[in-house]
Amino acid sequence: MAIATYSLVALDCPDPPALARFYADVLGGEVKKYDDVWYDLYLPGGARIAFQLAPDHRPPNWPDAAHDSQQLHLDLDVTDIEAAQEQVLALGATPLDLDDDGGRRGFRVYADPAGHPFCLCVR
């Protein structure tokens, strides 16, 4: 018997509405504002991601684990990694590791506009 059920992942960030819109543009869904410090993104299928105001947020210095951990990262499945890459870059993502092994690895790493790492993974 499980002790709990999954509710959401909350991302600290300096601009919750902007980061919520970024992920809504990437994943779809509906953004709801609860107050000036908390926004939720309700995803198709029922999952949620929350965005919480953190004025002094420092993004991780990925992949430099000696100075900062990743804190967390999201894996996002895609069918066409080239098209998905073009789209997330246009939305403001920053490439961190674009898989220079000819695509055999099957994922690429980016930072969202607040600096959180996320991966596009070939489904």
C-alpha to C-alpha distance for 18 and 14, rounded to whole angstroms: 9
> Does residue 72 contact residue 116 with C-beta atoms inside 8 Å?
yes
pLDDT tens digit sequence for 31-90: 999 999 999 999 999 999 999 999 998 887 777 766 656 667 888 999 998 999 999 999
Task: Please indicate, yes or no, if residue 10 is contained in any of the structural domains.
Answer: yes
C-alpha dihedral (60, 34, 84, 78), degrees to nearest 10: 90
In a domain, 62, yes or no: no
pLDDT for residue 5: 78
Q: Are residues 80 and 113 in the same domain?
A: yes
Domain of residue 47, CATH code: 3.30.720.120
44 & 88 share domain: no
Judgement on whether residues 6 and 50 belong to the same structural domain of the protein: yes
Quote the domain boundaries for residue 88: 71-123
Count how many domains the chain has.
2
In-domain check, residue 63: no
Higher pLDDT, 35 or 99: 35
The predicted model gives 107-122 an average pLDDT of 91
Same domain, 8 and 51: yes
In a domain, 117, yes or no: yes
Do 115 and 87 share a domain, yes or no?
yes
- Tokens standing for residue 14: 């300096």
CATH of the domain at 114: 3.10.180.10
Residue 66 within a domain: no
Residue 118 exposed, middle or buried by CB count within 10 Å (0-12, 13-18, 19+): buried
- 3-7, 26-30, 115-119: the lowest-pLDDT one: 3-7
Could you give the CA distance from residue 32 to residue 59 in angstroms, rounded to a whole number?
A: 24
Distance of CA 76 to the CA centre of its chain: 8
